[in-house]
Amino acid sequence: MAGRDIHTVSESDGGARSASRARRADARRNQQTLLDAAAAVFVTSGVEAPVRDIAARAGVGMGTIYRHFPTRADLVVAVYRHQVEACAEAGPALLAESASPHAALGRWIDLFVDFLVTKHGLAAALQSDDAGFRTLHAYFLDRLLPVCAELLGAAAEAGETGPDVTAYELMRGVGNLCIGAENDPEYDARRLAQLLVAGLRRER
């Protein structure tokens, strides 16, 4: 009888743990949906876009957004980190599936440009928290510099580029090309960035 009781308790605990894991997985998916929706709205309307627009795109109530992100700054920072992670994770995948390391570098730079150009109002939203902005900038460099360096290194090893350009120099150069691009419909930052990447190529 006691053995059966212990067995029953064990099954109950296992069921509770499974339910808890399922709830956490649901919460992560819901948060991912919110971040994707917020990122899309920020592209078109900037970080000051009404929360109701984000809620409508995500298909949830405004209370759900505030439950996950109590302040707008929380949401902006979370979207920024979410997109940095997506850009970081894309590097190895592009290197594996592209025709050459140089082609992978070009595709990754396209993603990097899109990431930079769609940051409408990010700096303004974080002006009241300079320390927070510095933390985000450090996070940005820590995650993306190694990815760019890996792509550059692979292209150099393949003889497609020289070893004389660092990841920081390339990312800083592309960043400078993106300044103000979101406010000028006649300026294509992606095209200029691709010209920069093309200029790195060496004939084998």
Q: Delimit the domains of the chain by residue range.
A: 1-70, 71-204
Band of the pLDDT at 128, cuts 50, 70, 90?
low
Nearest of 173, 165, 166 to residue 189 by alpha carbon: 173
Same fold for the pair 1-70 and 71-204: no
Mean pLDDT within 58-78: 89
Domain 1-70 fold: Arc Repressor Mutant, subunit A (1.10.10)
pTM of the model: 0.77
* pLDDT for res 28: 75
Domain 71-204 fold: Tetracycline Repressor; domain 2 (1.10.357)
Question: How many other C-beta atoms can be found within 10 angstroms of the C-beta atom of residue 72?
Answer: 16
Band of the pLDDT at 42, cuts 50, 70, 90?
confident
φ/ψ (deg, to 5) at 83: -75, -30
How many CA within 13 A on the CB side of residue 108?
33
pLDDT tens sequence across 76-104: 888 888 889 999 999 999 999 999 999 99
CA gap 204, 23 in Å, rounded: 54
